[in-house]
Amino acid sequence: MKARCMSRLSFSALAAASIFLFARPAFAQGLPGATEGMPWQVAALFTVNWVLVAAGVAMMSRPSKRSEKPKKSIDEESA
Amino acid sequence: MGAPKILITIHTVGGVFVWLWFMGSCTKEGMWNNALTLLDAWMAAFFTFPLWLAGTFITISMLKPGPDDFYTLFAIVMCMGWILYLVSFVIIHAITDYLSQTKVAFHPIADKIGAVLFAWSLASPLGIFSWPILILVMLAAAGQ
């Protein structure tokens, strides 16, 4: 559990650092500069799309609760 | 670097991150769990697609969009596709979890290889549902 948490934290840090490095020129120019040459709606839709992707990732990477061994039947338990 | 190119770069980095995330968090789940999750993801995509098309036609016929309503229509259609997909996935995944409550055992080597291959493919439906926005950003980049 701890290893899973650590790997998720490190992946998140890696992603945040990469996005910051690549998007830094746009952030440095401020919002009007960041959306220069592009309607603001495109940037807004892009953000909404990634929020929905993140929701999908969270749902799909949820750990399974399946057991390794089959549950004993009532007959086996009583015997 | 122009804004559309920055968005394309963020999209690429985000895609790699999602792929790494699945590899990191799902490989330990084993082949059976990952295979079922991938099956659920693709079943949800196939289930969503006709509903999404029907919803798009209904939205267009109800709203009767003008030339200035492109982004509004795009936002409605995009969010409708994603919400239909995520809801379908949750329902199908819950049904699968109920039907298969035990992991099927495989040979350890086959289980490891299968787990990696299925975890590697898990991001594919999410990538396909992100194509509309990527095309929109590419069009914005081409228009610069």
Contact: A19, B14; criterion CB under 8 Å: yes
Contact: A60, B37; criterion CB under 8 Å: yes
Question: What digits encode the pLDDT tens for the residues B23-57?
Answer: 888 888 889 999 999 999 999 999 999 999 999 99
Residue B137 is which amino acid?
A: V
B-chain residues within 8 Å CB-CB of A66? 32-33, 97, 100-103
Cα–Cα distance for residue pair B86/B88, rounded to 1 Å: 5
Q: Are B80 and B55 within 8 A, CB to CB?
A: yes
Residue A67 bridge partners (DSSP): B102
- Nearest Cβ partner for B24 among A11, A49, A50: A11
Question: What digits encode the pLDDT tens for the residues A24-79?
Answer: 665 555 555 555 667 778 888 888 898 899 899 988 988 888 877 665 556 665 65
Residue A2 has pLDDT above 60, yes or no: yes
Closest chain A CA to residue B22: A61
- Phi, psi angles (nearest 5°) of residue A39: -60, 145
What is the Cα gyration radius of chain B? 19
Residue B103 is which amino acid?
A: K
A-chain residues within 8 Å CB-CB of B89? 56, 59-60
Per the listing, tokens 């996005």 go with A19
Question: What digits encode the pLDDT tens for the residues B88-112?
Answer: 999 999 999 999 888 888 888 999 9
Cα–Cα distance for residue pair B103/B35, rounded to 1 Å: 11
B-chain residues within 8 Å CB-CB of A14? 17, 20
Contact: B102, A45; criterion CB under 8 Å: no
Closest chain B CA to residue A9: B21
End-to-end CA distance of chain B: 11
Contact: B82, A66; criterion CB under 8 Å: no
Gap from B66 CA to chain A (nearest CA, Å): 17
Q: Are B91 and A58 within 8 A, CB to CB?
A: no
Share of chain B above pLDDT 70, in %: 97
Q: Are B130 and B1 within 8 A, CB to CB?
A: no
Closest chain B CA to residue A42: B137
Task: Between B141 and B64, name the one with better pLDDT.
Answer: B64
Contact: A52, B101; criterion CB under 8 Å: no
Quote ipTM for the complex: 0.88
